[in-house]
Structure 1
């Protein structure tokens, strides 16, 4: 009695769905009836995880607890996709979304600055300079890649006048 095992079933069973960090939920606007939020999801998050109501448990106990009819713009860690959704139901431990609309963002064609020791990378929250040898973030998060490249140049010693 040898049953065929579906590899997709094994993969989904062994994968832990990541929770959304409440620090990555920002209120865009607060109206009379509903609010609008921007949510940045963790690195290993996939769009299919939005179907799981329990990923919101930390958000529901945090600063911005979501409620019915709130509007969400959910952005992937690497900004490869964006989902727009409406909260269909919410309680103290979970949030159910009403049919998120997924939009795939175009691939980045411009190359970020790098030299033999460091490279500028997007870390999900902004641009940082990363050491190539071990992937350590060497600078603070910046809003644009040009500022991160300027901070990269400051990592090298300069001659005092």
Structure 2
């Protein structure tokens, strides 16, 4: 065997850990007589293909919360960066996870108006609101706010005021 050849048996698995849904990021939208509807915000490292794995719902199902999914519930899943959303019906659910029936993925268009930034800071969406990030290291400089205009105002407050 050639020494330059790679032996597949010796290679480590490059499969990544499937992220799990945080129960705190699941909100009840509507509770009808037959089924319920939930809005779910994904963790930052989740991709739409992860919805095929029932174990992503493990924490939600094991928590014993009132938001644990049941058969026929509807879920509206929003990616962390809001690049895509998925709508699905729960096909089955137990204490270990939930299976979604044919999630319908919709890719959201990119922003047509760019978020404010200057040479040191930028306004960014962090999955929960708009924040001010330092460009040098990505450190969040201000708490999340509801809209980009408020975040731009917080960005301006990071600089010292001019003396009169």
Superposition TM-score, scaled by structure 2 size: 0.87
Which of the numbers 60, 67, 72 marks the counterpart of 2:70? 67
| Runs of 4+ more than 2 Å apart | 1-5
Alpha carbon RMSD of aligned pairs, Å? Answer: 2.1
Deviation per CA, 1:51-101, whole angstroms, max 9, x where unpaired? 100110011133311111110000111111110000010001110001111
2:136 is equivalent to residue 133 of structure 1:
yes
Q: 1:48: Cα distance to partner?
A: 0.9
Query: Where in structure 2 are there 5+ consecutive unaligned residues?
Result: none
Q: Distance in 1 between matches of 2:162 and 2:45?
A: 43
Q: Which residue of 2 aligns with 1:57?
A: 58
Indicate the residue corresponding to 2:98 in structure 1: 95
- Greater CA deviation, 51-60 or 104-113? 104-113
Unaligned runs of 5+ residues in structure 1 are none
2:48 — aligned with what?
Answer: 47
Which residue in the other structure is 1:20 paired with? 21
Within 5 A, what are the aligned runs for 1:139-150?
Answer: 139-150=142-153
Match of 1:122 in 2: 125
Superposition deviation, residue 4 in structure 1: 10
Q: Secondary structure at the match of 1:130?
A: strand
Please identify the structure whose Cα radius of gyration is greater.
2
